Amino acid sequence: MGVIELLGNTTLSSLCIDRPKPIWPFEGKQQSICSRGNRGLQTSISIMASSTVPAAAVNEKDDGEQLECLSKVSGDSFIRSHLRKLKPYQPILPFEVLSAQLGRKPEDIVKLDANENPYGPPPEVFEALGAMKFPYIYPDPESRRLRAALAEDSGLGSEYILAGCGADELIDLIMRCVLDPGDKIVDCPPTFTMYEFDAAVNGAFVVKVPRNSDFSLDVERIVQVVEQEKPKCIFLTSPNNPDGSIIGDDTLLKILDLPILVVLDEAYIEFSGIESKMQWVKKHENLIVLRTFSKRAGLAGLRVGYGAFPLSIIEYLWRAKQPYNVSVAAEVSACAALRNSAYLEKVKVALVQERERLFKLLKEVPFLNPFPSYSNFILCEVASGMDAKKLKEDLAKMGVMIRHYNNKELSGYVRVSVGKPEQTDALMKCLKCLS
Ligand SMILES: Cc1ncc(COP(=O)(O)O)c(C=O)c1O
């Protein structure tokens, strides 16, 4: 059974109430709120209808009293009600923090916790960054050079492509364009947690359809949920983070037949050996495909991702996106990376080979059950009485970072990113010490 989770306390009835609300002077200080008195009131349909801001109190008192009244208002009362209930996103420990804690150089930390590309970008990227002529000029809002390069790289016309500050930005942008408060999305956990997080930020409900025990999608249940709950969109990940499984064409086509917008996240597609579905957006009006330079080109720190969209959808993303979402540095880096496709291919082959070696080695560890992966990471069940969280902590003390999860479904698992051969060797040495 999928679980409908109400993220935040926004309810449908709280979304459509006609009620006067203060116009908050976003440009101003607290004094300017007080000095406006009654002029700061208008009638509107608002999702802030359930706000605890004391509009009536502001309305009735004179300016001096209002100032006193507002000074007692706690800052969080200005925050949208559904956001006040938001669980914070749990960021990973920055590796430089761990290296400082351990008294080691950052480069001596074996960082296998965030699926970055340990080879980094091709040398052309460093040259392009050093040769940047106009960092003081705003970037091209349409990222024309990058989109032209991506069109060549993907074979899809640049009019179908939009770039973003990482795929992360595009996930949020899609939700901002598609979801009205109270709309539903389908999420298939365990998967990338940003879908659930961004849905909560955008005031949407999350209908969860958990994956089968082999991490494949429960398609029957997805069909049922689409019929019953009428969600607006579904987020699918292939290969899926954290287990590395892929979605077959038949399954994808079945879901594309449903009356739902399908966002297919291909952040790790390069490691899978299967073709990207970017071209499919020409045939399927309800498909969006997301990609990133973070994994493929070792540019996670520069934040650049892209998506392929049907023309009927992309138009609205253009209207809603921040004009300068892709920085000058990000655009020149991504273009430079694409110019050295031989390097990108070499690094991909090295990571795929290392994944196979790592998988065999992890299989020999008595307390780990690794899952086969089509990506640049391997999920492992932690068995034989070993505690997954403690394993992660013990490895961190030895300078090896892997990912552990706080959520219930994955609390007994760890995920290990594929690194360079010497990083695999260091990990195995530490695991031996813990055996
Ligand atoms: C499935 C998935 N999608 C998207 C992203 C984020 O990509 P980006 O770095 O381009 O924001 C990640 C990052 O780990 C991911 O695992």
Q: Within 10 A of 130 (CB to CB), how many other CB atoms are there?
A: 7
- Taking each helix axis as running N to C, give the angle between helix 123-130 and helix 328-339, from 0 to 180 degrees, rounded to the nearest 10: 140
- The ranges assigned to domains in the chain are 83-116+343-434, 123-340
Find the 120 Cα to ligand 1 centroid distance in Å. 16
Q: Which of 11-15, 55-59, 352-356 has the lowest mean pLDDT?
A: 11-15
Q: Give residue-wise pLDDT tens across range 349-373.
A: 999 999 999 999 999 999 999 999 9
Q: Give residue-wise pLDDT tens across range 399-409.
A: 999 999 988 88
Question: Which residue among 165, 175, 192, 198 is best mutated to probe the pocket of ligand 1, counting the most ligand atoms within 8 A of its Cβ?
Answer: 192
The protein residue with its alpha carbon nearest to ligand 1, atom 12, reads 267
- Taking each helix axis as running N to C, give the angle between helix 166-178 and helix 194-201, from 0 to 180 degrees, rounded to the nearest 10: 40
The minimum-distance atom of ligand 1 relative to the CA of 114 is: 14
CA 33 to chain CA mean position, Å: 36
- Domain 123-340: CATH class, spelled out: alpha beta
Find the 242 Cα to ligand 1 centroid distance in Å. 11
| Residue 319: per-residue pLDDT | 97
Mean pLDDT estimate for the chain = 86
The protein residue with its alpha carbon nearest to ligand 1, atom 7, reads 167
The minimum-distance atom of ligand 1 relative to the CA of 168 is: 11
The protein residue with its alpha carbon nearest to ligand 1, atom 3, reads 267
Comparing 25 with 305, the larger pLDDT belongs to 305
DSSP string, 89-142: P-PPPPHHHHHHHHT--GGGSEE-SS---TT-S-HHHHHHHHT-S-TTSPPPTT
pLDDT bin (cut points 50, 70, 90) of residue 71 is: low
The minimum-distance atom of ligand 1 relative to the CA of 240 is: 1
252: CB partners within 8 A, 6+ apart: 236, 238, 262, 264, 277
Which H or E run includes 368? Answer: strand 368-370
Q: Within 10 A of 361 (CB to CB), how many other CB atoms are there?
A: 16
Find the 171 Cα to ligand 1 centroid distance in Å. 9
CA 50 to chain CA mean position, Å: 29
For ligand 1, residues with CB inside 6 Å are 115, 166-168, 192, 237, 241, 265, 267, 292, 294, 300, 305
State the fold for domain 83-116+343-434: Aspartate Aminotransferase, domain 1 (3.90.1150)
> Structure tokens of 185?
């999305």
| Residue 382: per-residue pLDDT | 97
Question: Which residue among 111, 194, 215, 403 is best mutated to probe the pocket of ligand 1, counting the most ligand atoms within 8 A of its Cβ?
Answer: 194
| Residue 98: per-residue pLDDT | 87
Instruction: Report the pLDDT averaged over residues 371-379.
Output: 98
The minimum-distance atom of ligand 1 relative to the CA of 164 is: 10
Pairing of strands 41-46, 377-382: unpaired
Find the 375 Cα to ligand 1 centroid distance in Å. 12
The minimum-distance atom of ligand 1 relative to the CA of 192 is: 1
pLDDT bin (cut points 50, 70, 90) of residue 95 is: confident
Find the 167 Cα to ligand 1 centroid distance in Å. 6
C-alpha R_g of the chain: 24
pLDDT bin (cut points 50, 70, 90) of residue 68 is: low
Find the 267 Cα to ligand 1 centroid distance in Å. 6
SS3 (DSSP) at 44: strand
Q: How far is CA 35 from CA 56, 58, 248, in A?
A: 15, 10, 62
pTM of the entire predicted model: 0.84
Find the 114 Cα to ligand 1 centroid distance in Å. 9
The residue written with tokens 């005031």 in the block is 203
Q: Within 10 A of 137 (CB to CB), how many other CB atoms are there?
A: 8
> Structure tokens of 312?
């009927």
Question: Which residue among 238, 294, 418 is best mutated to probe the pocket of ligand 1, counting the most ligand atoms within 8 A of its Cβ?
Answer: 294
User: In this model, does residue 50 exceed pLDDT 90?
Assistant: no
> Structure tokens of 25?
């002077």
User: In this model, does residue 35 exceed pLDDT 50?
Assistant: no
| Residue 408: per-residue pLDDT | 84
| Residue 62: per-residue pLDDT | 52
User: In this model, does residue 13 exceed pLDDT 50?
Assistant: no
Pairing of strands 205-208, 184-187: parallel
pLDDT bin (cut points 50, 70, 90) of residue 8 is: very low
User: In this model, does residue 66 exceed pLDDT 50?
Assistant: yes
Instruction: Report the pLDDT averaged over residues 49-58.
Output: 33
Separation CA 365–CA 368 (nearest Å) = 6
The protein residue with its alpha carbon nearest to ligand 1, atom 2, reads 267
Find the 340 Cα to ligand 1 centroid distance in Å. 22
| Residue 9: per-residue pLDDT | 35
Find the 67 Cα to ligand 1 centroid distance in Å. 45
**Residue of 292, 325, 289, 281 whose CA lies nearest to 167:** 292
Find the 63 Cα to ligand 1 centroid distance in Å. 49
Find the 419 Cα to ligand 1 centroid distance in Å. 17
The minimum-distance atom of ligand 1 relative to the CA of 171 is: 4
SS3 (DSSP) at 10: coil
- Dihedral angle sign, alpha carbons of residues 258, 262, 88, 85: negative
DSSP string, 260-303: SEEEEE-TTGGGTSS--SGGGGGT-TTEEEEEEHHHHSS-GGG-
| Residue 435: per-residue pLDDT | 82
The minimum-distance atom of ligand 1 relative to the CA of 169 is: 11
pLDDT bin (cut points 50, 70, 90) of residue 86 is: confident
Q: How far is CA 164 from CA 33, 38, 197, in A?
A: 36, 42, 18
Find the 50 Cα to ligand 1 centroid distance in Å. 34
The minimum-distance atom of ligand 1 relative to the CA of 300 is: 9
User: In this model, does residue 5 exceed pLDDT 50?
Assistant: no
Beta bridge partners, 4, equal 207
Find the 370 Cα to ligand 1 centroid distance in Å. 22
Per-residue DSSP letter, 39: G
SS3 (DSSP) at 46: strand
